[in-house]
């Protein structure tokens, strides 16, 4: 199947939802190696006009470190794509370091186990590297014992740029509203939740005008 066909189908479905802007991030799979990732990059480059704005990488984080994918990420940046990488979940802090140093990503997907390295936490805070955190997913996959054990609040207090995300709602049966509600039940304040939402807006790859409108919309909840 030509690469544009599934992407066109996804875009057609998304366009049926009025009032919500959705951009797409293509996912490389570590297990398939950098050669396959390079082919995926070529394919998504053909459908950028359908709203594909970035690339990320998932798969077996522990078994396939980020280093071999450095050239693919370098080429993705050259072509104008934004970049993220799933790191710091199945593997520890060294995986996050690899995503930062070798892949030079804009954002880190998860980053939960960055808590294992004080120097890494300082680096993330200083460089303002956004973390796409998924507390509910981390509980269900056993990365943390329960939500109360999740490091998200410590990261927030430390000044890291933390955002809240769902991971895969169809797999975990969650929603973004539910994630925020669960954090509120743990004592995360309304002001802190608004801060998380602002982080999400600022860390997004949306156009400046979209960010401005979203930021203004948060004012109604302040």
Condensed to tens digits (0 to 9), the pLDDT of residues 120-154 reads 999 999 999 999 999 999 999 999 999 999 999 99
| Domain 4-221, CATH homologous superfamily name and number | Metal-dependent hydrolases (3.20.20.140)
Residue 126 appears among annotated catalytic residues: no
Domain map (residue ranges) of the chain? 4-221
Condensed to tens digits (0 to 9), the pLDDT of residues 62-90 reads 999 999 999 999 999 999 999 999 999 99
The confidence band for 3, taking pLDDT boundaries of 50, 70 and 90, is: low
Residue-wise DSSP of 187-206? T--HHHHHHHHHHHHHHS--
Q: CB–CB of 31/64 below 8 Å?
A: yes
Percentage of residues in the chain having pLDDT higher than 70: 98
What is the rounded average pLDDT of the residues 162-188?
Answer: 95
Condensed to tens digits (0 to 9), the pLDDT of residues 177-217 reads 999 999 999 999 999 999 999 999 999 999 999 999 999 99
pLDDT at 20: 87
What is the rounded average pLDDT of the residues 43-69?
Answer: 96
Query: Is residue 27 within a helix (H) or strand (E), and if so which, with residue range?
Result: strand 24-29
Query: Is residue 133 within a helix (H) or strand (E), and if so which, with residue range?
Result: strand 131-133
Q: Which of 21, 46, 63, 89 is catalytic?
A: 89
pLDDT at 4: 64
pLDDT at 146: 97
pLDDT at 1: 47
Tell whether the model's pLDDT for residue 32 goes beyond 50. Answer: yes
Burial class (CB in 10 A: 0-12, 13-18, 19+), 65: middle
pLDDT at 53: 97
Number of helical H runs and strand E runs in the chain: 11, 6
Phi, psi (5° rounding) for residue 131?
Answer: -110, 125
Burial class (CB in 10 A: 0-12, 13-18, 19+), 3: middle
Burial class (CB in 10 A: 0-12, 13-18, 19+), 56: buried
């Amino acid at each position: 199947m030509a690469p544009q066909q599934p992407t066109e189908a996804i875009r057609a479905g998304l366009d049926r939802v009025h009032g919500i802007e959705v951009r797409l991030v293509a996912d490389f799979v570590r297990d398939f190696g950098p050669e396959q990732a390079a082919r995926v990059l070529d394919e998504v480059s053909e459908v950028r006009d359908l709203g594909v704005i970035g690339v990320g990488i998932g798969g077996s984080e522990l078994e396939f470190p980020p280093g071999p994918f450095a050239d693919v990420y370098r080429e993705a940046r050259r072509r104008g794509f934004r970049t993220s990488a799933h790191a710091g979940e199945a593997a520890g802090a060294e995986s996050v370091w690899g995503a930062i140093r070798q892949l030079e990503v804009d954002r880190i997907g998860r980053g939960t186990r960055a808590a294992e390295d004080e120097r890494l936490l300082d680096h993330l805070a200083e460089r303002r590297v956004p973390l796409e955190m998924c507390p509910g997913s981390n509980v269900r996959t056993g990365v943390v014992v329960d939500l109360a054990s999740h490091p998200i609040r410590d990261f927030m207090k430390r000044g890291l740029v933390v955002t809240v995300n769902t991971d895969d709602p169809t797999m975990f049966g969650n929603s973004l509203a539910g994630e925020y509600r669960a954090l509120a039940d743990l004592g995360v304040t309304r002001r802190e939740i608004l801060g998380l939402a602002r982080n999400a807006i600022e860390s997004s790859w949306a156009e400046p005008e979209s960010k401005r409108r979203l930021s203004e919309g948060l004012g109604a909840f302040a």
